């Protein structure tokens, strides 16, 4: 990876953009496939839990990974529905 940049754009929703540049197209393609695999495993894990999708699962489902020559772009959308789901969920469970 030769560079990485983060940006966000807010309209009615909040879009996060993560752009990674690589020294060649092979490395960019490998990274895209690696990220796609991680997201696929995460989706499988969420369906195995209890059938209920968490807010983070919904964001990952809507995430897009695009490749342009030596650049990989990750686009994630956060909307009011996702934010409300995060507020309902417990980040850390209380010890018993």
* Structure confidence by residue, pLDDT tens digits, 38-72: 888 877 766 656 666 666 677 777 788 999 989 99
Domain boundaries defined on the chain: 3-87
Identify the pLDDT of residue 44: 73
User: 3-class SS at 69?
Assistant: coil
Q: Where are the alpha helices (DSSP H) in the chain?
A: 25-49, 55-62, 80-88
pTM, two decimal places:
0.68
- In this structure, are residues 65 and 35 in contact, taking their beta carbons and an 8 Å threshold? yes
What's the confidence (pLDDT) of residue 9?
Answer: 85
Residues 6 or more apart whose Cβ sits within 8 Å of residue 23 = 2, 70
Q: Single out the residue of 42, 37, 31 nearest to residue 70, CA to CA.
A: 31
């Amino acid at each position: 990876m030769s560079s990485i940049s983060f940006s966000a754009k807010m309209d009615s929703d909040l879009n996060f953009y993560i752009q990674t540049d690589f020294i060649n197209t092979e490395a960019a393609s490998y990274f895209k496939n690696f990220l796609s695999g991680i997201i696929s495993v995460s989706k499988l894990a969420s369906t195995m839990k209890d059938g209920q999708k968490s807010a983070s699962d919904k964001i990952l489902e809507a995430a897009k990974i695009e490749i342009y020559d030596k650049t990989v772009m990750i686009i994630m959308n956060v909307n009011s529905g996702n934010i409300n789901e995060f507020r309902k969920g417990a980040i850390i469970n209380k010890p018993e």
